[in-house]
Amino acid sequence: IIIAFMKLSKHPKASKFALAGLGILFFSNLLSLGFSVVRVQLPSLLDGNYQLAGYIYAGINVFFSLVWTLALGLLIFAIWTGREEK
């Protein structure tokens, strides 16, 4: 994140994409930390309905996979943005 801020004036477009991707990853990890508490308590909150808990776990995993894919795509796009063709 520090390097992206340092390169912001020299490569503004690539730095913005890198900051967006890294920011999404950072907040995704914070959100994942919060959901880890929910995952432990979920079966007891659902009165032992383990099938529903499994569906919720799957939905949470799909959500975080999509967020990870978006963030990684932004980082890869930041690498290739602003490169001159030879």
Tell me the pLDDT tens digit for each residue of 35-73. Answer: 888 888 888 888 888 899 899 999 999 999 999 999 999
Task: Quote the pLDDT of residue 83.
Answer: 62
In sign, the C-alpha dihedral spanning 36, 38, 41, 43 is negative
- Does the pLDDT value for residue 79 go beyond 80? yes
Scan for tokens 């004036």, then name that residue.
Answer: 9
Task: Quote the pLDDT of residue 17.
Answer: 86
- Does the pLDDT value for residue 25 go beyond 80? yes
First to last CA, the chain: 29
Average pLDDT over residues 7-34: 86
DSSP label of 84: P
